[in-house]
Amino acid sequence: MTVVVTVLNDRRVGRTLESLQTQSLPPLEILVADGGSTDGTFELSQEGARRDPRVRPLRVPGTIAESRNGALREARGEIVAFLDADEVAPAGWLREITSPFTDPAVGFTGGPTPGMPGTVVTVGARYYDGYLRRFYETVARAHPHALPMGNSAWRRKVFEQVGGLDTTLDPRASSEDQDFALRALRAGWKGRYVPGAAVWHDFSGLTLAGLLRKQAAYAKGGYVVWRRSGSTYEASSGRLLPYLLPPFLAVLGGLLWAILPSQSVWGEGVLLLSALTFLGLVVALEIQGRAEEGRFPGFRLRPIEILRRWATAYGAFRGFLSYGWSGRRHLPRSPPSNT
């Protein structure tokens, strides 16, 4: 069994490696796929290798998809698990995340990534933690292709059959894990959500602005995958409409007020409707958030979802401008290389 840790200029990888060395189900090897660190992170991984011969630092520069493909070419285990450098695995993690593989039809598994205690301090981090906890239980559980590759495990046979991760997607917002999971599912493999296979996710420094930038980047990549595959799992037009209606009405009202000053009542009426619609959305989200705060701590900040959805729409629009309605313009898709 192989564990691949992806890293780029993140010295927290030392803590991740320490957590892997105390697993109740010890891995055969721990590959550190370094995408081109320049801050001493790779040397830190080398120190870990001197302490534990199972650790193998690999220089695999490029995007995260390219780094993971490079690590897969080196992996010897029949099961390959993936972690990111800002995650810490509890002692029973590897045993839990690989337990569904007793079913030969299961090709991949994934677990939740709750915020690490002591790092969930900003407003952005607190809401994101609550959002993710709910996301895994209500979305990823029903849609395995929504499971991120950080905190997942895969049969190596899946990569041999389906190919490697697509390296032609946008390097800053690639969504290559969603794309690959869809390909695996369509090839006949099953995906399983494993709630007991949680890893701690370090949210240090995650601000609200940083969360919105992250969401816009994800949405840009998600747009391309949606247009290529026809599949999404959350940001459908129906789900976005309630969040886009208030700003649409505000723009429409402003235009009416400017174009028809002699009949400003129309513009003012639409602007009032926009304000009331926005207020109703805030109240509805506040009620929902408070109702679910007990299960998903941080979810009482639910009105932040308005900003997150606006960031989603902005990222998707950028994807449309960059890659067209087909999702392929200026982004030729070459067949993924086999591992």
* DSSP 8-state code for residue 119: T
DSSP H or E segment with residue 204? none
pLDDT digits (tens, 9 = 90+) for 258-317: 888 777 788 889 999 999 999 999 999 999 999 999 999 999 999 999 999 999 999 989
Instruction: Report CA torsion sign: 98, 84, 89, 192.
Output: negative
Strand partners, 152: 82, 110
Higher pLDDT, 202 or 226: 202
Model confidence at 232: pLDDT above 90: no
**Residue 256: closest CA among 269, 275, 243:** 269
- Confidence band, pLDDT 50/70/90 cuts, at residue 173: low
- Confidence band, pLDDT 50/70/90 cuts, at residue 35: very high
* DSSP 8-state code for residue 115: B
- Confidence band, pLDDT 50/70/90 cuts, at residue 12: very high
Residue 224, number of CB atoms within 10 A of its CB: 28
What's the rounded Cα separation, in Å, for the pair 154 and 106? 9
What's the rounded Cα separation, in Å, for the pair 183 and 165? 10
281 in Cβ contact with 240 (< 8 Å)? no
Find the radius of gyration of the CA atoms of the chain. Answer: 22
120 in Cβ contact with 126 (< 8 Å)? yes
Give the three-state DSSP class for 300. Answer: helix
Give the homologous superfamily in CATH for domain 2-111+147-203.
Spore Coat Polysaccharide Biosynthesis Protein SpsA; Chain A (3.90.550.10)
Domain residue ranges in the chain: 2-111+147-203, 237-323
129 in Cβ contact with 200 (< 8 Å)? no
Strand partners, 49: none
Q: Residue 12 is which amino acid? A: R
